[in-house]
């Protein structure tokens, strides 16, 4: 009985380790940007008259636009460029409200654009359209982008340990009988 419960514990631990290692990743700093950067789409640019404003970007979408790749390749931080300090948050310009910090994947867009109904714009509501990359209000903070690199192959080790434990359990039961 003791061996059986020990084997079950080992198998369970091996499976848990394989799942936790499979989700592990490392972050590599790739750069930083200001929401109100000179090269960011300008809210007042006449080129956007037909759409009432430029596209609104989540911080991860902005990182992909600026540094290449796709939004899922990045995690964002407002703290600094140290991968140990990633807080998964970003600075956003909010239409009619200036800047605030939201989650890195925060999305509040009107038809994909950085604009809204006139009454919403005039209210200064922090729930208005938000973008992590638009020249509208000066936002004092910087967004730091980190590329996500998955840790390779550790889930195979957990499966191997689980298999060895099961084989050991079966052999132990045969010898006990």
Q: What pLDDT score was predicted for residue 21?
A: 44
Percent residues over pLDDT 90 in the chain:
29
What pTM, to 2 d.p., does this model score?
0.66
Q: Is residue 106's pLDDT more than 70?
A: yes
Mean pLDDT value of segment 125-146: 80
pLDDT mean over 84-98: 87
Q: Is the pLDDT of residue 97 over 80?
A: no
pLDDT of residue 79: 94
When mean pLDDT is compared across 10-14, 83-87, 95-99, the lowest value belongs to 10-14
Mean pLDDT computed over every residue of the chain:
76
Cβ-proximal residues to 48 (8 Å cutoff; 6+ apart), any chain: 41, 54, 113
- Residue 107's pLDDT band (boundaries 50, 70, 90)? confident
Number of residues that this document lists for the chain: 177
Helices (H), ranges, 23-153: 59-67, 118-123
Distance of CA 25 to the CA centre of its chain: 12
The pLDDT of residue 19: 44
Please determine, for residue 118, whether its predicted confidence score (pLDDT) is greater than 80.
no
Among the residue ranges 22-26, 44-48, 68-72, 109-113, the one predicted with the least confidence is 22-26
Neighbours of 39 (CB within 10 A): 10
What's residue 164's pLDDT? 78
Euclidean distance between CA atoms 130 and 18, whole angstroms: 39
pLDDT for residue 141 is more than 60: yes
């Amino acid at each position: 009985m003791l061996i059986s419960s020990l084997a079950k514990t080992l198998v369970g631990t091996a499976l848990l380790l394989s799942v936790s290692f499979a989700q592990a990743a490392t972050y590599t700093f790739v750069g930083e940007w200001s929401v109100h950067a000179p090269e960011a789409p300008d809210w007042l640019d006449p080129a956007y008259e037909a759409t009432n404003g430029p596209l609104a970007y989540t911080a991860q979408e902005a990182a992909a636009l600026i540094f290449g790749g796709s939004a899922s390749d990045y995690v964002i931080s407002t703290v600094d460029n140290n991968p140990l300090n990633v807080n998964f948050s970003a600075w956003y310009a909010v239409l009619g409200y200036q800047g605030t910090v939201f989650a890195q994947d925060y999305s509040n867009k009107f038809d994909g654009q950085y604009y809204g109904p006139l009454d919403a714009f005039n209210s200064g509501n922090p729930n208005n359209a938000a973008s992590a990359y638009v020249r509208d209000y000066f936002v004092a903070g910087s967004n730091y982008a980190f590329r996500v690199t998955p840790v390779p192959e550790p889930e195979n080790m957990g499966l191997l340990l689980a298999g060895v434990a099961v084989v050991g359990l079966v052999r132990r039961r045969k010898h006990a009988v």
